[in-house]
Amino acid sequence: MTLATRSDVVCLVPAAPPAPPLPLTDDAIALGLFLLDIPLELPPLTIGMAWHPRHTADGAHHWLRNAIRRTLRTPGSPTT
């Protein structure tokens, strides 16, 4: 977003409805930017993870995978 303050680019940032991304909103306001809804329907974005099998039992790698899952999960979905 900092780059957008110095140029005429448009920055697309995914948001998780129904809750507004409050930290993102605060950052945009601090930078003098406006957050607007995209005026068209976009298909859902599927994100996957892959790793070498030797990392499956690695504790740090397991923690990182779970942190990514928690961060990117759909609101209201199970936390498994």
How far, in Å, CA of 56 to CA of 78, rounded?
A: 21
The label of the residue with tokens 């930078």 reads: 31
| Residue-level pLDDT at 3 | 78
Q: For 24-55, how does the pLDDT look when each residue is reduced to its tens digit (9 = 90+)?
A: 778 888 888 888 888 888 888 788 899 999 99
Cis amide bond preceding 18, omega within 30: yes
Say if residue 31 is in the same domain as residue 3: yes
Residue-number span of the structural domain to which 32 is assigned:
1-42
pLDDT confidence of residue 12 = 76
Q: What is the pLDDT of residue 9?
A: 78
* Domain identity same for 34 and 56: no
Counted domains in the chain: 2
SS3 track for the chain: CHHHHCCCCCCCCCCCCCCCCHHHHHHHHHHCCCCCCCCCCCCCCCCCCCCCHHHCCCHHHHHHHHHHHHHHCCCCCCCC
Q: Assess whether 33 and 60 both reside in one domain.
A: no
Taking the model in full, what pTM does it have?
0.50
